[in-house]
Each structure stands twice: as structure tokens, then as C-alpha cells.
Amino acid sequence: MLAQALHIARLEALLALRKAHQLAAIAMFAVCAVYLVYQADGFGQQNAWAAQLWVVYLFSIFSAAGRLFDREQGPTRRYLQWAVHPSALIGGKLLYAAVLTGAMTLLVFGAFYLLLGAPEGANLSLLALIGAGWWGAFSMATTVTTVTAIASQTRAGPAIAAVLGLPLLIPQLILATRMTRDVLDGLAWTTSEHFVFLGSLGLGTAVLAILLFPYIWRS
Amino acid sequence: MSGKLWKWGGVALLLMVVWDSFTTPMQPGWVASEVDKSDANAWLVELSAAGHPLVDGVNDNTAGFQVIFKSESAALCAEVISVEAHKLVCRLTPPDTLPRPSLDAFVMTPGAGSLMLRNAVSVAGAVKGVPHKNCEIGQMQPSTLPATVPFQPNILETIRNLMFHVPMWFAMFFIMSLSFVSSLLYMRTGDIKYDQRADAASRTGLLFGVLGLITGSVWARFTWGAWWVADPQLNGALVTVLVYTGYRILRAATGDDDRVPRLAAAYNVFAFILLVVLLMILPKYNVSLHPGKDGSPGFNTYDLDNTLRSMFYPAVIGWGMLGYWIYTLGLRMIRVHRQLLNR
């Protein structure tokens, strides 16, 4: 029994090492989350709160937008290739991602706020916080959708999406955390300069995705 | 022959830069002061220096040295007692009144110009007011030392890292641009040679990125006290290295699938454009510890003097050429590998 278990464990380790991208994906998630929290270090409770919120958002966005191309395999894929223009396909996926992340923001923020409450001394506007969350989540969802589109073309699966997407999400996460911090300081979420940056990043990414997608979608 | 000439030229340039940057002495400057106040009427101030020796020879003399302690408009002469290679001791009669409770030291040297140390002596007991000016400041003498690298209080001898750290990032950016353009060309033409170029360039660029991180980390430890600091430049550097690590993993994980070149090209274009945008936005509006960014002086403004420039520009060209050479070697390896596979 024990010998068999040890053998299986050894086999797992060997296979994992052979598929290094899966280990890399784990490492990438760890680095990304730690780095986000590190950015908030030493700036007091509000920043820690904002960083925690965005770590939660990060994982939710990934599990939401990271599955957008799960169905496009085999016959479905061939049908879609024949039926719709690739730019329309990615455009539709991006629109859906925006709605999905909006709904997800409500859920994540609701649960987060219910359990953790507001940070001390915050100038709280729930609506502004939700708005900031949705805006940042939308911006990141475009990136996740695009790298998922690339990753789904390989046989390596969702691990590759994490490896490709997380590095690009770090700056967006930092921006989003700062926007949440601004909101906690009492700024309206649309007047924060990070609002403009995140919005243009999201739109820019969407445009890039629409331009590049026809290219990766061909078989 | 000409094909080899630029390679060895680049290496020669780098060797010259390395030799120059490590053999050129540093301009002397004060790093610390210690005040012995046991005699209330004659304080002994000991200034310690780094860099090029203040005097040479065993029997040191104080000729040509003048020490003045200043506090806004107040100026107090001190009597120079001894000068050694990296130490100067002088006697100061403490003032009764001062505009602010600390004195900056100005030392006129016979060879190295005038060297200053801010807040060298604190005079806690002095009454606020301007004391009698008790000395005449001699003529400022320009430095007559041979070529030296500038003295920077926190950086000190590590200024030589300027020839490694900064040009390595330049080289990385140069090679990554090569990779980006190759990926664009591959997307346009579908010619596999462009994919091979993008592949080889991303490998070399990543190497330089990692070298840039390591040299930067060592430098940060010395000047800022930590291996890693929360700084927008560092965020950008980390993101860049991670993105290209991702690109390498994408290529490795998907093996010899014939769709890989296309996916890799798409990701390369996507990531490079995002990186340029992000790296331009992020550091812009945030205080950086890096020189030349908001909140800290640049190497360009006053400290990139002609001596540093004469090493820095060749270093940029040399690292760029070395990077390009490594890239061509990597490209050759990829081609050979492919030929072996196709056999």
C-alpha cells in the first residue's frame, strides 16, 4: 500500500515537472497575489482592505472570464468559424465578460462587505465602491478574455491562461487598488485618475483583441 | 571578416568600459562626521571621507586645507589639525549664537576642489541669532584630480553599476523590440524565419531582463537598504520579466504544435503593446526612487559628468552589440535544432 502510494506521489511529481507550465501557473498566482498585498504594505488599514478586496476579485475574474472559450472545441468551433466573423465572436465574448464581471462584482463585494465590513475611518459610499470594483474588473476581464482566447487554442489548458495573463494583470490590479483607495478617501470613483487609465486600458485591450483574434482563430 | 569585426568590437568596447569604470577613482567626498565635545571651548571634529585619497604620502600635511563651518549666513573657520588619506581632524570654537542648530562643513582642498558635508556638527545649545563672521573664505579651487567618477552620498563606489544595470535594460528593450517586429512580420507573411527570430530574441531579451533585475537588486540593497522596494520602475521591470517568462512557457508548453508560432506571435504583439502602454503610464504619476524620475534627481542633471558619459555611452553600445551577438547565436541554435528535427 505505502509503496504504491509513494510510487503514485513520485509519478505525480515527475509528470508535474514535465508539464512545467502548470507549476508555473501556481507560482504565478502566488507571486501575483503576494505582490499585490506587498504594494499595500505600510500604508495603513484602508490600503490593506483594498488589497484584500482585489485579491478576491482577481481570483473571481479569473474563474469567470477564464472559462469563456471552454465550449469552442471540435464541431462547435468549426461551426462558429463558418458562421460568424471572428471579430464579432471576440466582441461578443468581451461584452458578455463585461456583464458577467458586473454581476460577479456585486456578489464578491456583497460577501466581502458582509463579512469584513468597512475599514475604519473610511469615507464610505457603497455605490462608488461597487462602481470602482466593476470598472477595474471589466478592465481586467478584457485582458483575461484575450489571453484565454490564446490559451484555448493550445492543448495546455487554463494553466497557460494564468501564466500569460497574470503578469499583465499586476499593473491593472495596482491601478484598481489605488482607485478603491481613492474611493475610500472620499473621491467619486469617476473622478479618480485611475478611472481613466483603467478605462483606456480595458478599451485598448478590447481593440487589440478584436484586431488580433481573427489571426489566432484560423485553423 | 567584417561579420566578426563588430562582434569583437562590441566585446572590446565592453572590456574597455569594465576596465575604465573599475579603475577610475571616485571623487573624494565626506561620508560621516564625529564631534568630540569634551573640551567645551574647542570641539574636535573628525570628518571621514571616501574616494580618491585627500593626501598621499606618509608625512601628511595640512597645507592648502581650509575648513569652514556654515549655517545660513554664519561662517566659522576651524583650525585644521591633521589630514590623512580618508580623514580630516579640525578644531572648532563653538559659537554662542547660530541661525539654526546645525553646521555644514565646507572643506577647501588643494587638489580635489571644495567638498561639503551637510549637518556635520549639531549645536543644540546655541541661541538663535547670527554670530560674528570670524573668517574670510578663500578662493574656491577647482579640482585638479585626474579623471574621476562623481561622488554621490548614498551611491558611493557603486556608481560603477551605472555601466551595467542601465545599459542592460536598454539592451533588453532593444532586443524585445526586435522580437516584437519579428512577430508582426510573421503575422503578415507567415514565414517561419520571422517566428524563429522572435523566439531567439525573446530568449536573449529575457536574459538581459533577469540580469537587469539582479544588478538592480544588488544596487538597491546598497543605496536604498533593501533587495526589493515598492517602486513603479520595479513593478514595470517585474511585469516585463514575468510577461516574457509567460511567452517562453507558452512556447515550451505547447511543444511542436504547428499553431504555436501564430499564437506566440499574437501574444507577443498583444503583450508588447500593453507593456509599452503600462510602462509609460505607471511610473508617470508616482514618486520613484530612481534617478531622473519624479522626486529624485537624475543622473543627467548634474551627476552624469563627462567622465561617466565617456563610459556610459560605449557601455550602451557595447551591451547592445553583445546582446545582438547572443541573439544571433540563439537564432542559429534554433535553426539547427529545427533542421535536426526535420531530418
| DSSP-assigned letters across all residues of B239-290 | HHHHHHHHHHHHHHHTTT-TTHHHHHHHHHHHHHHHHHHHHHHTTTTS--SS
Lookup: cell for A33? 497575489
Q: In the beta sheet, which residues pair with residue B105?
A: B69, B117
Degrees to nearest 5, angle at CA B216 with B7 and B278: 95
Handedness of CA A56, A61, A66, A67 (dihedral sign): positive
Do residues B120 and B184 both lie within one domain?
no
Over range A101-105, report the average pLDDT. Answer: 88
The residue assigned the cell 478611472 is A195
For chain A, give the number of residues: 219
Let me know whether B317 and B228 are in one domain.
yes
Q: Are residues B313 and B254 in the same domain?
A: yes
B226 — contact with chain A (CB < 8 Å)? no
Q: Is the pLDDT of residue B266 over 80?
A: yes
What is the spatial distance between Cα B55 and Cα A6, in angstroms, rounded to a whole number?
A: 71
CA–CA gap between residue B290 and residue A218 (Å, rounded): 45
Do B162 and B116 reside in the same domain of the chain? no
Looking at chain B, which residue has its C-alpha nearest residue A17?
A: B253
Count of H-run helices and E-run strands, chain B = 6, 9
Select from A146, A160, A201 the Cβ nearest to the Cβ of B253: A160
CB contact under 8 A, B267 and A147: yes
Q: Which cell numbers in the block locate residue B325?
A: 551577438
Q: What is the residue whose three cell numbers read 578663500? A: B138
Are the beta carbons of B298 and B150 closer than 8 angstroms?
no
Separation in Å, CA of B300 to nearest CA in chain A: 28
Strand ranges (E), B85-217? 87-92, 97-98, 102-108, 114-122, 127-128
Report the run of H or E that residue B76 belongs to, with start and end: strand B74-84
**A28–B242 C-beta distance less than 8 A:** yes
Query: Cell for B20?
Result: 575604465
Q: Quick one: B175 and B298 in the same domain?
A: yes
Which positions in chain B touch A42 (Cβ < 8 Å)?
230
Same domain, B42 and B97: yes
pLDDT band, residue B209 (cuts 50/70/90): very high
Q: Judge whether B24 lies within some domain.
A: no
Closest of B223, B216, B149, B208 to residue B178, by C-alpha: B208
Tell me the pLDDT band of A71, cut-offs 50, 70 and 90.
confident
Cα–Cα distance between A169 and A166 in angstroms, integer?
5
**In the numeric block, which cell numbers belong to residue B98?**
547660530
Greater model confidence, A121 or A98: A98
Q: Return the half-sphere exposure (C-beta side, CA atoms, 13 A cut-off) of residue A106.
A: 5
Q: Where are the alpha helices (DSSP H) in chain A?
A: 2-18, 20-40, 45-65, 74-83, 86-116, 126-152, 158-184, 193-217
Whether chain A has a CB inside 8 Å of the CB on B287: the answer is no
Tell whether B143 is covered by a domain. Answer: no
Rounded to a whole number of angstroms, the distance from the CA of A208 to the nearest CA of chain B is: 7
In this complex, which of B236, B253, B269 lies closest to A156 when CB atoms are compared? Answer: B253
List of residues 6+ apart from B84 with CB closer than 8 A: B54, B55, B60
| Whole-number pLDDT of residue B287 | 58
B271 contact residues in A (CB cutoff 8 A): 164, 168
Cβ–Cβ of A170/B238 closer than 8 Å? yes
pLDDT for B292-326, tens place per residue?
554 444 554 445 677 888 888 999 999 999 999 99
Inter-chain touch A212–B245, beta carbons under 8 Å: no
Domain that holds residue B274: 156-342
Cβ–Cβ gap B239/A153 under 8 Å = no
Q: Which chain A residues are Cβ-neighbours of B275 within 8 angstroms?
A: 168
Measured between beta carbons, the chain A residues lying within 8 angstroms of B226 are: none
CB-based contact B220:B236 (threshold 8 Å): no
Say yes or no for a CB contact (<8 Å) between B269 and A193. Answer: no
Are B98 and B184 in the same domain? no
pLDDT surpassing 70 at residue A77 = yes
Nearest CA in chain B to A214: B266
Q: Where exactly are the structural domains of chain A? A: 20-217
CATH number of the domain that residue B67 is part of: 2.60.40.10
Strand B29-36 versus strand B127-128 pairing type: unpaired
Which residues of chain B does A153 touch, with a Cβ-Cβ cutoff of 8 Å? 259, 263
B107 and B171 co-located in one domain: no
Whether residue B218 lies inside any domain: the answer is yes
Please report, rounded to a whole number, the percentage of residues in chain B having pLDDT higher than 90.
33
Give the span between the Cα atoms of B92 and A136, in whole angstroms.
62
**Tens digit of each residue's pLDDT (9 = 90 or more) over A125-157:** 888 888 889 999 989 999 999 999 988 888 777
Cα separation of the two ends of chain B: 31
The SS3 assignment for B53 reads coil
A159: chain B residues, CB-CB within 8 Å: 253
* Distance, CA of B314 to chain centre: 15
Res B302: pLDDT: 46
Please give the average per-residue pLDDT across A187-209, as a whole number: 85
Q: What average pLDDT does chain B have? A: 84
**Any domain includes B1:** no
Number of domains comprising chain B: 2
Find which of A212, A213, A219 to mutate to test the B interface (most B CBs within 10 Å of its CB). Answer: A212
Task: Judge whether B184 is closer than 8 Å to chain A, CB to CB.
Answer: no
Q: Which of B236, B249, B285 sits opposite A21 (nearest CB)?
A: B249
The reply to whether B66 and B191 lie within a common domain is no
Set of cell numbers at residue B50? 571616501
Q: Which helix (H) or strand (E) holds B336?
A: helix B306-342
Give me the mean pLDDT over the B199-216 stretch. 95
Residues in chain B: 343
Contact A39 B230 (CB under 8 A): yes
Pair B76, B135: CB distance under 8 Å: yes
- Confidence (pLDDT) at B285: 55
Would you state the cell numbers that stand for residue A48, as one nine-digit string?
490593506
B215 is a domain residue: yes
Partner-chain contact A167 B245, CB within 8 Å? yes
Please check whether residue A176 is in contact with residue A52, taking contact to mean a CB–CB distance below 8 angstroms: no
- Conformation bin of residue A121: beta by default, left when phi > 0, alpha when psi is -120 to 50: left
Give Dmax (Cα) for chain B: 92
Could you tell me whether strands B74-84 and B87-92 are parallel, antiparallel, or unpaired per DSSP bridges? antiparallel
